[in-house]
Amino acid sequence: MATNNTIQVKVTAKQKMTDDVVCLTLVSATEDLLPSWQPGAHIELALDVCTDASGASETDNVLLRQYSLCSDYTDNSQWQVAVLREEGGRGGSLFIHNNINPGDILTVSQPRNHFPFNPRNKCLFIAGGIGITPMLPMIQQAVADGLDWRLVYLSRERSRMSCLDKLAQFDASRITYNADKEDGYINLQELLATCDQDTSVYSCGPKPLLDALEAEYEKQTIWSLDIERFSAGPIDNTGNAFDVVIHSTGQKIHIPDGEPILKVLREAGIKIPTSCGDGVCGSCETGVISGTPDHRDSILSEDEKADNDSMMLCVSRALSTELVLDL
């Protein structure tokens, strides 16, 4: 059932884009217009992977999975998300590929944006694999704003490049397709050497690509870099023990060294949505009323971390002896 933070949508189309990518088209189940959103935004799908005989799903059997919106951001009549089938994943993409069909009703979140598009006068988009999805509305806005933009689309093989029909609407002279198998590995250093002080680099893709971009970014002060990660590096939950206070009840819960806040609170019976567990999706973002978080996520900007208004409970800890959370 929809709440103030969720929406009921209907799947009107399921398009096969490649052998391992499908695109879902979603409309409001109540035939209303969908909420507006900006490039870089994603929605969270609640996937009822297991239901009882009455059709009611158990909380622990609802998978929350985030997918970037890749449709026209000016069109509130429908949304589209592209989903890569991951055989070794946690089950969400397999469920969508195998079980979701046109006519199905899904519960999704309001659009959220941890990857906002605020570019300089020039844009270099570097997409790796399914990381092309958030780039599409960004390119659309760059064209609308008259910016000087380029896209470099990387993939292991050309047959695995998705959203090619969507890319066909843009100026082909501004797009470079590079498949490792057919074209060899791209030289990131040479590519980034073409960026000047007016250039914003936006990238989404696998960890090795983003790690390499961050390493190059640290060497210079010319161009800016904004990235969105699918997965984080090794998670470190070590640190001093501290207490968490639940603001709504006053309940105080001790968080030992090595134990994630999210895990301890859920074991105490406190319901907190979660998905990735790696600090990259934002599902467990929680307001901080007092105390100083030790931010260890890959979502919040440095300014947002300095504000200490919210934190990701799955990976972050505390620098203070107590945190009061808006729960």
pLDDT per residue, tens digit, the chain (327 aa), is: 444 588 999 999 999 999 999 999 999 999 899 999 999 999 999 988 754 333 333 345 577 888 999 999 999 999 999 999 987 666 788 999 999 999 999 999 999 998 999 999 999 999 999 999 999 999 999 999 999 999 999 999 999 999 999 999 999 999 999 999 999 999 999 999 999 999 999 999 998 999 999 999 999 999 999 999 876 556 677 888 999 999 899 989 999 988 888 889 888 888 877 766 777 777 788 899 999 988 988 778 777 888 888 888 888 888 899 999 999
Distances (CA, A) of 288 to 164, 173, 245, 284, 306: 42, 47, 10, 12, 12
Q: Which of 182, 232, 228 is nearest to 202 (CA)?
A: 228
* Residue 214 three-state SS: helix
For residue 48 the two structure tokens come to 């009822």
The whole-angstrom separation of Cα 57 and Cα 54 is 9
Go through the domains of the chain in sequence order and give each one's CATH number: 6-109 (2.40.30.10), 122-229 (3.40.50.80), 242-325 (3.10.20.30)
